[in-house]
Each structure stands twice: as C-alpha cells, then as structure tokens.
C-alpha cells in the first residue's frame, strides 16, 4: 500500500520542470538513484527518482511529459496529499570514490543532485556537467553549487554556459576523474558510457523504461537480451553491462511488450 505524504513546497525550476518537497511520517532511507512510485488518486501513478531525502523530507523533480505529470504541474500545491510507494531498485554505487564526474541531461540532473550531496558529505569531490536544450530549461545549478559541487552548464544553443553537448564536455575533462555517473536522455548516456569505458573509467548510468509493478514481476521494464529489469536490477547499471545490452540506446518495450525503436517514444 502507499504511504501518505504532504506537499510542503513547490518550486518552479524552469519551463515545464517543478520541484516538490514532501513531508513523510517516516524515513524512506532511499539511496541516490533509487526511485519511488507517485500515485495521484484518480489520475495515475508514475516512477520518479529521489532528488533528495533527509529527516522525513523528500524532494522530487518532475518534468511535464503527459497525463500524470501534467496533472501534477497544474494542480498540486502546498498542503496537498501525495501517495508514494518505494523506494525501489538499485542506486549508484559510490563508496570509496574520491573524484566523481556526474553528467546529467534535463531532469536527469535530479538523481545526480542526491548523489553529489552524498559524495561531498563523505569528503569526495563531485564535478557535474549539466546539459539542457536552452536557457529556459536550465535547472538545479544553484543547488549543486550550494552542496559544494563544481558545476559546468552547457546548452545546445549556447544561451547559457558552454555551447555544446554535455557528453562532449565530459570527454574533454574525463581524465581527471576516477568514476563517472550519468543520468539523462539515453542517447547522451550511450556516448558517455562508451567514452568512459574506452578510457578505462568505471561508469554507471540510470535508465528509464515503462514501469508498471516496480517489483520485478511483470517484465515491462526489461532490457534485452539479458532480461535485465530496470525496476529491480537497475535503474542504475554498470556501463560494462550496458554495452553488452542490445537495447541500451536503441529499444524500449511499449506497454504491450513489443520492442520499439527508442526514437519512436513520444516525449
């Protein structure tokens, strides 16, 4: 069954992206990279990464994408109830990492924020490269800076920070780091993973697929041909595993379980 939480704060982060702070009655003890299922009664239930958790306070970053996320954006205000279950899945592995490079795109920056705060708290160093389409989409820069991470921002059109792709900037500076983490559009993550492995760096990426049960039984979130489950074995996977996964960067299962080209997903 779901847990009850109450919205304590809503922030407009950028065009189409909001952040929600929820008060819980007990800790989830989520790890960075894990996700929860957010149920809005009468509307739907969607998987969302944990952007931060501390003292029964949970932060989510939600982009407008369709039915449920639109409803959340248009209706959810301070004092409203939100129903959640989880946390689910395996998060990032980060013990003993000294110098980490985090590469995020769009709302993918969200789970990396939680990771950066854990890394910095343990005395590690986190440098984050964030990529966005343009200035109106830029999020979380101040949040990363405040927790003590170094931030590099790029936009496709150069309207904010460096003009270029986060994956390209990552290639230029990767030599300085011992571990790489990435979360964002899968095309970007594919580039980051391949480059990092070619440089002998350990790399982890957080994937999305259609989540239904979130409990490792329905198979809707599978990656073929290994039969890896995003909700259970992931959503964070080691790059060494992903490069052997045909589906990585290429295919999703649609809601019926038919494999479709990743470019055919509606966004």
Partner 1 sequence: MAKLEVTVAGIKLRNPLILASGILGITSGLMVRVERAGAGGIVTKTITKKPREGYDNPVFLELDVGYINAMGLPNPGADYFAEELRKLENFHIPIIASIGGSTPEEFTYVANKLKIPLVKGFEINASCPHVSKHGVEILSDRKLLSEIVSSVKSVSNNSPVFVKLSAMINDVVKLGEIALESGADGLVAINTIRAMAIDIWAKKPVLSNIYGGLSGPAVKYVAQRVIYELYNVFPDKPLIGVGGIEKWQDVVEFILAGASAVQLGSVIAKKGLTVFNEIIRGVKMYMEQEGFRNIEEMRGLAHRT
Ligand X SMILES: Cc1cc2nc3c(=O)[nH]c(=O)nc-3n(C[C@H](O)[C@H](O)[C@H](O)COP(=O)(O)O)c2cc1C
Ligand Y SMILES: Cc1cc2nc3c(=O)[nH]c(=O)nc-3n(C[C@H](O)[C@H](O)[C@H](O)COP(=O)(O)OP(=O)(O)OC[C@H]3O[C@@H](n4cnc5c(N)ncnc54)[C@H](O)[C@@H]3O)c2cc1C
Residue 208: name its binding partner from ligand X, partner 1, ligand Y, none (Cβ under 5 to 8 Å by kind).
ligand Y
Closest distance between ligand Y and the C-beta of residue 251, in Å? Answer: 13
113-131: buried (b, 16+ CB within 10 Å) or exposed (e) per residue?
Answer: bbbbbbbbeeebbbbbbbb
220 touches ligand FES by CB under 6 A = yes
Quick one: what does residue 112 bind among ligand Y, partner 1, ligand X, none, with the CB cut-off 5 to 8 Å set by partner type?
none
- Tell me the three state secondary structure of residue 166: helix
- Identify the CA nearest to 68 among candidates 34, 31, 41, 96: 41
Q: Using the rule CB under 6 A, is 38 a contact of ligand FES?
A: no
Contacts of 54 by beta carbon, 8 Å cutoff, 6+ apart: none
Interaction between residue 221 and ligand FES (CB under 6 A): yes
User: Which whole-number Å values give the CA distances from 26 to 3, 7, 38, 111, 127, in the listed order?
Assistant: 9, 15, 16, 21, 32
214 counts as binding partner 1 under rule CB under 8 A: yes
Interface with partner 1, residue 80, by CB under 8 A: no
Judged by beta carbon distances under 5 to 8 A according to partner kind, the member of ligand FES, ligand Y, partner 1, none in contact with residue 83 is partner 1
What is the Cα–Cα distance from 251 to 27, expressed in whole angstroms? 35
Cβ atoms of residues 179 and 202 within 8 Å: yes
According to the binding rule CB under 8 A, does residue 44 interact with partner 1? yes
The partner in contact with residue 181, picked from ligand Y, ligand X, partner 1, none with C-beta cut-offs of 5 to 8 angstroms by kind, is none
> What does residue 92 show for φ and ψ, rounded to 5 degrees?
-75, 145
Whole-angstrom Cα distance, residue 107 to residue 140? 9
- Consecutive H or E run containing 35: strand 35-40
160 binds partner 1 (CB under 8 A): no
CB-wise, 105 or 235, nearer to ligand FES? Answer: 235
Contact, 48 vs 36, CB < 8 A?
yes
Give the interface segment with partner 1, choosing from 58-66, 119-127, 148-156, 226-234 (CB under 8 A).
226-234
Nearest distance from residue 135's CB to ligand Y, in Å? 19
229 touching ligand FES, by CB under 6 A = yes
Report helix, strand or coil for 220.
coil
Q: Which of 10, 43, 218, 243 binds ligand FES (CB under 6 A)?
A: 218
Which of ligand X, ligand FES, partner 1, none has residue 81 at its interface (CB below 5 to 8 Å by kind)?
partner 1
Q: CB-wise, 159 or 215, nearer to ligand X?
A: 215
| Inter-CA distances, 23 with 39, 41, 241, Å | 15, 18, 36
Q: Which residues bind partner 1 (CB under 8 A)?
A: 1-2, 4, 37, 39, 41-42, 44-46, 81, 83, 85, 211-220, 222-228, 232, 253-258
Q: Which residues bind ligand FES (CB under 6 A)?
A: 211-214, 216-221, 229, 231-232
């Amino acid at each position: 069954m779901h847990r009850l939480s109450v919205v304590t704060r809503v922030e407009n982060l950028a065009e189409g992206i909001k952040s929600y702070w929820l008060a819980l009655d007990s800790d989830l003890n989520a790890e960075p990279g894990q996700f929860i299922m957010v149920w809005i009664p009468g509307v739907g239930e969607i998987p969302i990464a944990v952007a931060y958790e501390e003292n029964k306070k949970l932060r989510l970053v939600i982009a407008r994408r369709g039915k449920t996320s639109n409803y959340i954006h248009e209706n959810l205000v301070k004092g409203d109830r939100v129903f959640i279950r989880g946390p689910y899945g395996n998060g990032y592995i980060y013990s003993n990492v000294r110098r980490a490079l985090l590469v995020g795109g769009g709302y993918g920056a969200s789970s990396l924020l939680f990771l950066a705060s854990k890394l910095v708290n343990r005395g590690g160093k986190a440098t984050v490269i964030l990529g966005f389409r343009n200035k109106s989409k830029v999020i979380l820069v101040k949040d990363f800076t405040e927790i003590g991470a170094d931030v590099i921002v790029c936009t496709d059109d150069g309207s904010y920070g460096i003009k270029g792709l986060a994956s390209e900037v990552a290639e230029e500076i990767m030599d300085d780091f011992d571990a790489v983490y990435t979360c964002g559009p899968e095309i970007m993550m594919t580039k980051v993973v391949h480059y990092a492995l070619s440089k002998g760096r350990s790399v982890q990426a957080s994937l999305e697929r259609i989540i239904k049960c979130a409990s490792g039984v329905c198979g809707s979130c599978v990656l073929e041909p290994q039969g890896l489950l995003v909700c259970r074995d992931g959503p964070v996977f080691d790059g060494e595993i992903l490069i052997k996964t045909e589906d990585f960067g290429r295919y999703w299962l649609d809601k019926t379980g038919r494999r479709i080209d990743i470019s055919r997903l509606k966004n």
